[in-house]
């Protein structure tokens, strides 16, 4: 048992059994006598592992038959470019909903490729909320509509997804994939950097509907075409072998926990512990509107920046680490991904109550 609870926004906490099995595989993977860092990505042992990782993810998320699972590099940030390079055909418009820094980075990249319509934005309210359905102005016949399902920095989260009808809905789920049950068939493409909720940095999971994988213009560089990675089962070039192994272990751990539905319930309880304190306190102030609150990343402020500094160092002395807000917004942010145990949330809640009592 370790002596810290990790609230890092990403790379983030991983389940302890995953760290243990990974440390074993770092020495000897699948009885090959080789480390997972030494085996060939073309070996039969690794081929079995990648295929099992895909089928575990399909089972856990209920991914329909007509979707492919890809393991790519370049982070979620490369998907900001790959999505429009593949899907935003000439003469078409892509709708983007701007709910925070990551959405606006995605918008910036898409504008380099083609025509973008910002269909709704909460920027003028400092990204403290998710736009309501009647604020969203979709383009008829758009190439796709892009959202960020959970806003890691601002701490807001889509509670239900916009209905884009025939227009493919594309979601950056980097910070809430596998944290709640979703209907994958409602999406054309989902992507997520693994390092928040499903593994280490170095691999990005893309879930893509078959028809969307074939749309890239011919002059798209090979590595940036989804079809390249679909046709080679993510092994056109050397894939991130070690990160994929860790994702595999995380998926097995999720099954051991009872699947995403069970984890979702736990995530709700963990978040409620902290939100209850924010709502009943004059000392702490949540920064996101109630109807848009994230269950993964909970930002809040204290009465002064000096108290925030004190809070962070006192928390860290108690083994509660990684609570500093993003540099662009300041304050405190408790990131409570799947692998943060209930006890971690409880310890943070107890610490918050005691700290407020002592300082007010
Ligand atoms: C962290 C994060 C990113 C950036 O991910 P990289 O893998 O570092 O490129 C993008 N979107 C969201 C929602 C994130 O939380």
Spell out the SS3 assignment of 34-85: CCCCCCCCCCHHHHHHHHHHHHHHHHHHCCCCCEEEEEECCHHHHHHHHHHH
Among the listed residues 196, 252, 270, 324, the single catalytic one is: 196
For ligand 1, atom 12: residue with the closest CA: 174
Ligand 1 centroid – CA 102 distance (Å): 7
CA distance 239 to 24: 21
Provide the CATH number for the domain formed by 5-13+258-359 in this structure: 3.90.1150.10
Report domain extents, the chain. 5-13+258-359, 16-256
Task: Answer yes or no: are the C-beta atoms of 8 and 321 closer than 8 Å.
Answer: yes
Q: Does 172 participate in catalysis according to the annotation?
A: yes
Q: Average pLDDT of each block of 10 consecutive residues along the chain (360 residues)?
A: 93 98 98 97 97 98 98 98 96 97 98 98 97 96 98 98 96 98 98 98 98 97 98 97 98 98 98 98 97 98 98 98 94 98 98 97
How many residues belong to the chain? 360
Cβ–ligand 1 contact at 103 (below 6 Å):
no
Cβ–ligand 1 contact at 152 (below 6 Å):
yes
Cα dihedral 27, 29, 35, 36 sign: negative
Q: Does 196 participate in catalysis according to the annotation?
A: yes
Cβ–ligand 1 contact at 102 (below 6 Å):
yes
Q: Does 253 participate in catalysis according to the annotation?
A: no
For ligand 1, atom 14: residue with the closest CA: 174
Query: What is the model's pLDDT at position 99?
Result: 98
Nearest atom within ligand 1 for CA of residue 10: 1
* CATH topology assigned to domain 16-256: 3.40.640
Query: What is the model's pLDDT at position 1?
Result: 73
Query: What is the model's pLDDT at position 2?
Result: 84
Query: What is the model's pLDDT at position 114?
Result: 97
For ligand 1, atom 10: residue with the closest CA: 76
């Amino acid at each position: 048992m370790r002596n810290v609870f990790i609230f890092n926004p990403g790379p983030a906490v991983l389940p302890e059994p995953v760290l243990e099995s990974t440390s074993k595989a770092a020495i000897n993977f699948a009885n090959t006598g080789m480390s997972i860092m030494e085996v060939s990505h073309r070996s039969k042992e690794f081929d079995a592992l990648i295929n099992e990782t895909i089928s575990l993810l399909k089972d856990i998320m209920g991914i329909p038959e007509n979707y492919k699972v890809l393991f790519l590099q370049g982070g979620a940030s490369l998907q900001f470019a790959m999505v429009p390079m593949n899907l935003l055909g000439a003469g078409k418009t892509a709708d983007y909903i701007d709910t925070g820094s990551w959405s606006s980075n995605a918008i910036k990249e898409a504008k380099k490729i083609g025509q973008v319509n910002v269909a709704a934005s909460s920027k003028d309210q400092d990204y403290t909320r998710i736009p309501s359905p009647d604020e969203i102005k979709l383009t008829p016949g758009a190439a796709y509509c892009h959202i960020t399902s959970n806003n890691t920095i601002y701490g807001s989260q889509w509670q239900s997804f916009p209905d884009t009808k025939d227009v493919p809905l594309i979601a950056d789920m980097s910070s809430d994939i596998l944290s709640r049950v979703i209907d994958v068939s409602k999406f054309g493409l989902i992507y997520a950097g693994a390092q928040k909720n499903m593994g280490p940095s170095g691999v990005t999971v893309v879930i893509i509907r078959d028809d969307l994988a074939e749309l890239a213009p011919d002059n798209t560089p090979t590595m940036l075409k989804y079809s390249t990675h679909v046709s080679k089962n993510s092994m056109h070039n050397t894939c991130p072998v070690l990160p994929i192994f860790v994702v595999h272990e995380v998926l097995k751990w999720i099954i051991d926990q009872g699947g995403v539905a069970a984890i979702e319930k736990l995530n709700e309880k963990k978040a409620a512990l902290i939100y209850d304190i924010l709502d009943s306190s004059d000392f702490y102030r949540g920064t996101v509107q109630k109807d848009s609150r994230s269950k993964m990343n909970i930002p809040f402020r204290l009465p002064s920046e000096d108290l925030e500094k004190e809070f962070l160092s006192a928390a860290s002395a108690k083994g509660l680490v990684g609570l500093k807000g993003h540099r662009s917004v300041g304050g405190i942010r408790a990131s409570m991904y799947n692998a943060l145990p209930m006890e971690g949330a409880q310890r943070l809640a107890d610490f918050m109550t005691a700290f407020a009592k002592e300082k007010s």
